């Protein structure tokens, strides 16, 4: 048993490092968009299109998840890393806009195949009472990409040029693919075929009949929409209100990375003790309170950054906790459930981003805070309704 647990810890540890690579491939484009624009010889809006293509891939994840539910999660893990590696290396060797566009699409798709698979793998092998701890630790990969991955990409670009991140990320993906291929034997990833999980359409039919699944998907959509409604304007808010420079805005973004890291740490430390359902509700309620207080307690930069920190801390705690809970909603279709969670969050982010700009222009931070509170309230209603009477 001890050897089995050690192997499981090693597999999850390597998978978490792979997730840092995936998340870095997604996030490094944001701060270095002007550099990529000059390197590719295209206008800046063309680079933002690369970001949009990467975001879109979240919607496609559920179409691949049934493969994992039928044939095992190992094949999804390796396929995701393969897409990342091929895409990133192609973008490095062939520095053309069209190739880089496809490269980031492949990296994004690979991430949205890999993430649900490793979450489902954990759901299969980690007892529910320890699920929050393990998922919380795995989610350090998100904050880690902001605090370690993206700064490292900046150093590589400065010393070796804009193509360097593509080579490093692609090579890292190949290393991860080889190691996980060895650590996770093919036979350990086999699962019995589950009636109803043969294709995405039949899986979504099961979702429509499952109140808990619908409630959690609604939660994922609403909390993501509320957060992005604020996230897309926080830079303008700080710049207009406090006259921050571009460099200072970059430093302020580190506040978000630290908040995400602490939120994931709190999930790992406390969510299992409090109960995953109770923890998700507490996090969501606290995030709504923080949104509501933002306009009232942002007269100084210190207070504004403090509440920015609290918003992302509580949101991350709630999201990661509910992510842990979601691994138990449909045990026979874990990969599909986790892909649906990610897809709902992706659609929510798109909706929130589209909403955030007009709301900010119309009513400033007061309107932004009000809308985020209302959307968060809808997420709370969805979660409470969905989990009423549900037992793990």
Q: How confident is the model at residue 197 (pLDDT cuts 50, 70, 90)?
A: very low
pLDDT by residue (tens digit) across 252-265? Answer: 667 888 888 888 88
3-state secondary structure of 89: helix
Query: Which one is predicted more confidently, 304 or 244?
Result: 304
pLDDT by residue (tens digit) across 235-253? Answer: 778 777 787 665 566 566 6
**The two three-digit tokens of residue 315, written as one number:** 């949101």
CATH number attached to the domain at 2-189: 1.20.1250.20
Q: How confident is the model at residue 196 (pLDDT cuts 50, 70, 90)?
A: very low
Query: Which one is predicted more confidently, 20 or 240?
Result: 20
pLDDT by residue (tens digit) across 330-341? Answer: 887 887 788 888
CB 311 within 8 Å of CB 287: yes
Q: What sections of the chain are H helices per DSSP?
A: 2-27, 33-40, 44-56, 65-71, 73-93, 97-125, 131-138, 140-144, 150-160, 164-183, 200-209, 211-231, 234-242, 246-266, 272-274, 276-293, 301-326, 334-387
Domain 200-387 has CATH 1.20.1250.20: yes
Distance CA 384, CA 278 (A): 10
pLDDT by residue (tens digit) across 69-101? Answer: 777 788 889 999 999 999 999 999 999 999 999
Section 309-322 average pLDDT? 92
Distance CA 270, CA 391 (A): 20
What's the pLDDT at 251?
66
Section 271-292 average pLDDT? 91
Among residues 152, 181, 136, which one has the least CA distance to residue 11? 181
Q: CATH 1.20.1250.20 region(s) of the chain?
A: 2-189, 200-387
């Amino acid at each position: 048993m001890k050897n089995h647990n050690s192997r499981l810890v090693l597999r999850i540890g390597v998978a978490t490092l792979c997730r840092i690579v995936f998340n870095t491939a997604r996030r490094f484009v944001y701060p270095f968009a002007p550099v990529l624009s000059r390197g590719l010889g295209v206008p800046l809006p063309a680079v933002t299109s690369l970001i949009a293509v990467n975001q879109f891939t979240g919607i496609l994840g559920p179409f691949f998840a049934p493969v994992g539910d039928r044939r095992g999660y190992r094949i999804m893990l390796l396929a995701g890393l393969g897409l990342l590696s091929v895409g990133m290396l192609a973008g490095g060797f062939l520095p053309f806009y069209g190739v880089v566009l496809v490269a980031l699409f492949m990296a994004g798709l690979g991430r949205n195949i890999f993430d649900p698979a490793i979450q489902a793998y954990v759901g299969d092998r980690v007892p529910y009472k320890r699920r929050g701890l393990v998922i919380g630790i795995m989610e350090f990969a998100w904050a880690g990409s902001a605090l370690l991955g993206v700064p490292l990409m900046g150093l590589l670009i400065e010393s070796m040029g804009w193509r360097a991140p593509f080579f490093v990320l692609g090579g890292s993906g190949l290393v991860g693919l080889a190691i996980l291929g060895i650590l996770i034997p093919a036979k350990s990833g086999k699962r019995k075929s589950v009636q109803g999980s043969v294709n995405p359409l039949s899986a979504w039919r099961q979702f429509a009949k499952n109140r808990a699944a619908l409630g959690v998907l609604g939660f994922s959509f609403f909390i993501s929409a509320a957060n992005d409604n604020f996230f897309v304007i926080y830079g303008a808010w700080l710049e207009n209100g406090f006259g921050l420079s571009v460099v200072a805005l970059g430093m302020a973004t580190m506040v978000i990375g630290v908040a995400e890291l602490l939120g994931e740490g709190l999930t790992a430390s406390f969510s299992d003790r409090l109960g995953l359902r109770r923890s998700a509700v507490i996090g969501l309620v606290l995030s709504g309170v923080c949104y509501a207080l933002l306009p009232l307690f942002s007269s100084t930069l210190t207070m504004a950054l403090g509440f920015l920190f609290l918003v992302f801390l509580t949101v991350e705690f709630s999201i990661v906790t509910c992510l842990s809970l979601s691994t138990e909603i449909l045990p026979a279709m874990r990969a599909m459930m986790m892909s649906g969670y990610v897809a709902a969050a992706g659609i929510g982010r798109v909706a929130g981003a589209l909403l955030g700009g007009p709301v900010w222009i119309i009513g400033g931070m007061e309107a932004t805070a009000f809308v985020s509170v209302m959307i968060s309230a809808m997420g709370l209603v969805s979660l409470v309704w969905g989990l009423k009477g549900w037992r793990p």
